[in-house]
Amino acid sequence: MKLLSTLLFLCLLLAFTSGAPAQEPTEPESTQAALPDRCSGIEFDAIVPDEKGRTFFFKGSHLWKGYEGDAQPSTNFFKELDDIHGIGHVDAAFRMHNPENSNDHDHIYFFQDDKVFSYYNESLEEGYPKTIQEDFQGVPSHLGAAVECPKTECKSDSVLFFKGQDVYVYDIPTKAVKTKSWTHLPNCTSALRWLEHFYCFHGHNFTRFHPVTGQVTGNYPKDARNFFMRCDKGFGHGHGYKRPKCSDIKLDAITTDDTGKTYFFAGPIYMRLDTARDGLHAFPIKRSWREVASGVDAVFSYTDRMYMIKNDKVYIYRGDAHYTLIEGYPKTLKEELNIEGKVDAAFVCPSEDTVYVIQGRSLRAIDLSATPRVVLRDLPLPLSNIDAAHCSSDGIKLYQGGVYFEYATPMLLTASRIAPQPQNLPAQQFGCEE
């Protein structure tokens, strides 16, 4: 029970602090009273991540960088927003998703009144500010919020602009604008896309919505102070948190899918790392894979599918914006992989058709290109009590409690007779104390 509590606290910390930059120097003590406090229940003017994955929260002429720390003048990062043009605040902002055009991909667009500003690496792009109509014809001025929507989640690469309860869907490739009315949503004063989910912020609350239909599923609104910031006033998942020791951490499985996203599984939660810039974030397993909500024994990815092993069953999910269980599953280990018994860990190396399944001190190599599956080799392992395993271009890592062992290839792994020196889990990555 103590271990489960430690894991849950670890994941909550990772969800809101991992990848967050260190707190920046604040204004002199004499001016602290004048700074806005987001833990007091304010309404944000805009929320936007930059090209490095840092999330900025704007209020008036101030902003917060990341999920903790004090407010700072916006001009510390985007000096033209006030020093030259004197706009003082922003109405809306979004990070452009246009991978086919490197000239504006990952740029941040700020909107104020009828003007738009384009920034990259905290520098204003030449030729800006412009009128909104010059860059986004058909989009109104005095916006409430804006958020990008990639074509994997919308019908094409798009931007959603909010004004009152009207939503202007701007199609990036064609520059066409369609207007929708989502009267069931509150008036969004800021919006954020975070790991394929979309959030409308209103007052100190937020509501999650579907970017195509506007549909709201679940119990909303919720207080943003419990999810999008660290507060010391009784709010926030990290309230009263004590960092666990790295030696107390136990992972159940690790895998990387064909889009490059890495998933860490521990008990009833999973942590997902999209890119180093976006940090590590934690969620309950039931959110994405409800059939295995209480946890998994092993997980591996092959082509566009994720294989989850729990007890003597194999669940195969089709990879898309949201994982979907393939019809006819789960199946038994014998039916799907031609093996029986408890599975401790499993991994597939990049561009290979072989899954390596660890059972005690045995490593079984199974041909995934064969139907039915064929066990190619049954080899001895130099280690036992393995919790999780992962293979990447850097080699193989076998996890055992709070340490891991590295091997260059499966062949070297099975040829070893003496285990290599164990290495401690990286404290910075896992948010633990060494």
Report which of 30, 47, 38 is spatially closest to residue 69, judged by C-alpha positions: 38
User: What per-residue confidence (pLDDT) applies to 50?
Assistant: 85
Residue 197 shares a structural domain with residue 88? yes
- Token pair 């309860």 is at which residue? 165
Residues 195 and 278 in one domain: no
Q: Per residue in 263-282, pLDDT tens?
A: 999 999 888 776 655 556 67
Number of folded domains in the chain?
2
Same domain, 208 and 256: no
Residue 211 structural domain: 35-226
pLDDT of residue 51: 82
Query: Do both 126 and 182 map to the same domain?
Result: yes
- Same domain for 266 and 119: no
The DSSP H or E segment spanning 396 is strand 395-400
Task: Determine the residue type at 235.
Answer: F
Torsion-angle region of residue 405: left (phi > 0), alpha (psi -120 to 50) or beta?
beta
Residue 69 CA, chain-centre distance (Å), reads: 21
Residues 129 and 213 both lie in one domain:
yes
Please give the torsion angle defined by the CA atoms of residues 122, 128, 131 and 136, in that order, rounded to the nearest 10 degrees: -60
The answer to whether residues 339 and 262 belong to one domain is: yes
Q: Are residues 258 and 311 in the same domain?
A: yes
Spell out, as residue ranges, where the chain has pLDDT lower than 50.
Answer: 1-33, 83-86, 237-241
| The token pair that represents 386 in the structure block | 């393995």
The per-residue pLDDT for 321 is 58
Taking CA 40 as the corner, what is the angle to CA 36 and CA 45, rounded to the nearest 5 degrees?
55
pLDDT at 413: 92
| Same domain? 219 vs 251 | no
Query: What is the spatial distance between Cα 160 and Cα 143, in angstroms, rounded to a whole number?
Result: 11
pLDDT attached to residue 75: 82
Of 192, 221, 226, residue with least CA distance to 207: 221
**pLDDT given at position 17:** 37
Question: Which CATH number does the domain housing residue 381 bear?
Answer: 2.110.10.10
Distance CA 119, CA 156 (A): 23
Residues 101, 156, single domain; the answer is yes
What's residue 87's pLDDT? 52
Q: Is 344 contained in some domain?
A: yes
Quick check: is 176 in a domain? Answer: yes
Same domain, 309 and 354: yes
Res 336: pLDDT: 97
Residue 9 domain-assigned?
no
Identify whether residues 168 and 270 lie together within a single domain: no
